[in-house]
Amino acid sequence: MKTRLTELLKTEYPIIQGGMAWVAEYHLAAAVSNAGGLGLIGAASAPAEIVREQIREAKKLTDRPFGVNVMLMNPNSDAVAEIIVEEGVPVVTTGAGNPGKYMKLWKEHGVTVIPVVASVAMARMMEKSGADAVVAEGTESGGHIGQQTTMALVPQVVDAVEIPVIAAGGIADGRGFAAALMLGAEGVQMGTRFVTAKESIVHENYKEKIYKAKDIDSAVTGRSTGHPVRCIRNKMTKEYLRMESEGATLEELEQLTLGSLRNAVIDGDVVNGTIMAGQIAGLIKEGASCQEILEEIMGDAEQLLKKYAE
């Protein structure tokens, strides 16, 4: 399948992996790229030199293009922005803010820049400042989220900008992929499905929480703080939401979640940890390799698209 996105990214498939904190490390990024998608290393809150090491390790595992996701709330992001250029990383995605201040540096060095946006206004602004594509991410996503649904957001962003649009939020199979194309997207970004990939280093307890999740099993913490985060319900979310409703301070809430994503992803603490995942977790019943995931999605989507073309 060829879209403007496969041309831009030089990938076989128009599918990119989310830049998930702790999850999107080099094994997963290289596996997604080797399977024909675009793998991403999530810089998240990591020190810049760790990001450099991750990039170098990924290069050992794949000759194909991969990218780095810059989480803009990270105080180290200035240094990460430089390392991306120094290491010759071809693609950057950004999240949780406005990447405008890095645009000149990245464009001067030929980096393909793909901001993740949650609104039409942000998509327009990013196009004006030189973005090559945008990820339009709906509120169905895991992690830090906006308010618009994928179904409503994607076609409005498609109409607002000329650059290619990548749909994200609630997509985990060939049906979701085909639906995204029908909305005018030229590719998709998936996070939760790749959390469960065989090559993902995520603790088995975390993967089990995704396999066992039902449609209604996600909760959004942090609405009161302005940083809403979607994760799978557990003791932590219950406690967080109780504290939020009782007017807890930002410090008290931060205390509850300090290090909690790492504890869930690496140590498998799915009771007190933060299990970030999208609403589509309920659809995912078992793990598969990145190759299997991408082939299944592309095969199913092609059949569906043919069916409706008849």
Query: Least distance (Å) from ligand TUI to the CB of residue 71?
Result: 5
Locate the DSSP E strands across the chain.
15-17, 39-42, 66-71, 91-95, 112-117, 134-137, 143-144, 165-168, 187-190, 218-221, 229-232
Distances (CA, A) of 298 to 203, 233, 309: 27, 31, 16
* Cβ proximity of 113 and 127 under 8 Å: no
Query: Least distance (Å) from ligand TUI to the CB of residue 307?
Result: 33
Q: Name the residue nearer to ligand TUI (CB basis): 71 or 158.
A: 71
Integer Cα distance of 87 and 43 in angstroms? 14
Integer Cα distance of 226 and 282 in angstroms? 26
Query: Least distance (Å) from ligand TUI to the CB of residue 34?
Result: 24
Q: Name the residue nearer to ligand TUI (CB basis): 188 or 229.
A: 229
Residues 6+ apart with CB under 8 A from 207: 195, 196, 200, 287
**Scanning the structure block, which residue is given the tokens 């931060």?**
254
Query: Least distance (Å) from ligand TUI to the CB of residue 224?
Result: 13
Residues 6+ apart with CB under 8 A from 233: 217, 218, 219
**Nearest residue (beta carbon) to ligand TUI:** 143
CA-based nearest residue to 193, from 115, 277, 132: 277
Residues of the shown chain interacting with ligand TUI in the complex, contacts defined by CB under 6 A: 21, 71, 73, 95-98, 116-118, 122, 137, 143-146, 227, 229
Q: Name the residue nearer to ligand TUI (CB basis): 229 or 280.
A: 229
Query: Least distance (Å) from ligand TUI to the CB of residue 200?
Result: 16
Query: Least distance (Å) from ligand TUI to the CB of residue 275?
Result: 12
